Amino acid sequence: MREKGEILVEVKDMCKNFGVTVALNHVDMAIRRGEVRGLIGENGSGKSTVSSIIAGIQQATSGEMFYKGQPWKPASNLEASRSGIGMIVQEAGTIDSISVAENIFLGNYGQFKKGPVMNRAKMNAEAKKALEKIGVTHINPALPARMYDMQERKLIEIARTMYSDPDVFVVDETTTALSQSGRELLYRLMHHAAAENRAVIFISHDLEELMEHCDTLTVLRDGVIIDNIEREDFEAGDIKRKMVGREIKGNYYRVDNDGYSGETVLKAECITTMNALLCFSLELHKGEILGIGGLSECGMHELGKALYGLEEVVDGRVLLPGSGTVIKNAKTAFRNKMGYVSKNRDTESLELEASVAANIQSTGLDKNRSFGLFLSFKKEKKYAQLQVDSLAIKCVNMLQPVKALSGGNKQKVVFGKWIADDADILILDCPTRGVDIGVKAAMYQLIYEMKKKGKSIIMISEEMPELIGMSDRLLVLKDGKVNGEFLRKDGYHQNELIECMI
């Protein structure tokens, strides 16, 4: 166990309101040097809010903060980072249109300027060093950030934050955007910071990960701190109970072994994409939950996109054998009763400015017409309300813009919109990303109910327990190819999957 030092950051009696929403309710917290402090709580419990106030991203409604013993009231994120508090935010934190190097030194270009002239070569060289410092060598600082995928953009953010060796390193729900190797890299950086007598605030919904890497866990519920638990007292059942205020049963995956029909509903016939897949074939059956797993770079996310017509298939085809329809774009997929939940919810699945209701209703316009013609307000309302209730989407009301929701609640909106649509084929890419354990259980139940209704589901995931827990059949991908196939009826172990992945 690590020795903790003096108090580095202190939050006293902090409140934060957003209109009628009370996000933080008289919160007290003291983070010491040398500790990794985990924050855990249901979606919308206030974890991001308190951390982002410490990191200057937003201001508290009332209360005080102290940093290194002095009153602390940063006016901006930039001021906080210049004073040694850096945060990796949950959502995308890079700007697509500017270069990797510009992202890394955003707000700090002065050091590379001589008068009005920017020394780009110097900036790129320094950005390269910043990336190397966290162990990343494959990202080119001169290229625009948009050239990189979600995980690489997270690495760029990590390099930006770690460049100045922050005294307080805040990591908000970042690991779900990273592959295993990215996660290991982040854990190393966190432990290194703590060993150097700095401090880490670590937010995650993965209890195992939190219990493994944190010294203390702070449990939040509805903006209130329920408990601070020291490492020697960590006990999973107790933590879950404190999080949700009731007992959470351990097993929330399906328990049956019911199998699926022999009818093929979707086929990938030797498909090749620009980057990830080379002559890849797959068959999905009616009533089947087909799990797709592997390391993040194995091609599984590209596969999901290609099956839904979002990634160009340069050779081969994606086919609905029943009708003979070839899926060439998302419009055709949608018209043929397919749905797709993207891993990258903010940019690919949500209209952030639009309301919760409008986002959920966006897939169901035809279902909510009266006499097949006019949109029925009543029908639309009921349609959206059902999802808000069954997934416990935490919002003031359904007209609240999605951008005001916590990360996990946004994910519930994406999931809800496709569940509501009642698609026949659903492609889910990391559907439970950033979602708390209580709602995960509800999502698994909804997925299972779809299967029971004869719907077919592809579930792409980096979480092995959910793949094993839910799939009828599981394909493990490596380098864009199937490297192992596992059947629920035969039973298998996690270790066999890992062997196929690496």
Ligand X SMILES: Nc1ncnc2c1ncn2[C@@H]1O[C@H](COP(=O)(O)OP(=O)(O)OP(=O)(O)O)[C@@H](O)[C@H]1O
Q: In whole angstroms, how far apart are CA 365 and each of 331, 336, 401?
A: 14, 15, 19
- State the burial class of residue 470 (Cβ atoms within 10 Å of its Cβ: 0-12, 13-18, 19+): buried
Residue among 49 and 471 whose Cβ is closer to ligand X? 49
Distance separating alpha carbons of residues 6 and 30, to the nearest angstrom:
10
Residue among 24 and 290 whose Cβ is closer to ligand X? 24
Residue among 1 and 20 whose Cβ is closer to ligand X? 20
Shortest spacing between CB 409 and ligand X, in angstroms: 5
Residue among 47 and 417 whose Cβ is closer to ligand X? 47
- State the burial class of residue 40 (Cβ atoms within 10 Å of its Cβ: 0-12, 13-18, 19+): buried
Distance separating alpha carbons of residues 294 and 480, to the nearest angstrom:
10
Upper half-sphere CA count for residue 496 (Cβ side, 13 Å): 11
Shortest spacing between CB 140 and ligand X, in angstroms: 32
Which positions touch ligand X (CB under 6 A)?
18, 21, 23, 41, 43-49, 90, 173, 394, 404-409, 434
Distance separating alpha carbons of residues 6 and 343, to the nearest angstrom:
40
Shortest spacing between CB 225 and ligand X, in angstroms: 12
Shortest spacing between CB 403 and ligand X, in angstroms: 7
Distance separating alpha carbons of residues 351 and 222, to the nearest angstrom:
26
Shortest spacing between CB 203 and ligand X, in angstroms: 7
Shortest spacing between CB 193 and ligand X, in angstroms: 21
Angle, helix 407-421 to helix 377-390, in steps of 10 degrees: 120
Distance separating alpha carbons of residues 156 and 34, to the nearest angstrom:
25
Residue among 226 and 477 whose Cβ is closer to ligand X? 226
Residue among 21 and 180 whose Cβ is closer to ligand X? 21
What's the token pair of residue 288? 């089947």
SS3 of 152-175: HHHHHHHHHHHCCCCCEEEEECCH
Shortest spacing between CB 96 and ligand X, in angstroms: 22
Question: CB nearest ligand X: which residue?
Answer: 408
- State the burial class of residue 249 (Cβ atoms within 10 Å of its Cβ: 0-12, 13-18, 19+): exposed
Residue among 45 and 273 whose Cβ is closer to ligand X? 45
Nearest to 37 by CA among 225, 245, 237: 225
Q: In whole angstroms, how far apart are CA 193 and each of 35, 174, 196, 276, 440?
A: 9, 17, 5, 35, 32
Residue among 306 and 439 whose Cβ is closer to ligand X? 439
Shortest spacing between CB 90 and ligand X, in angstroms: 6
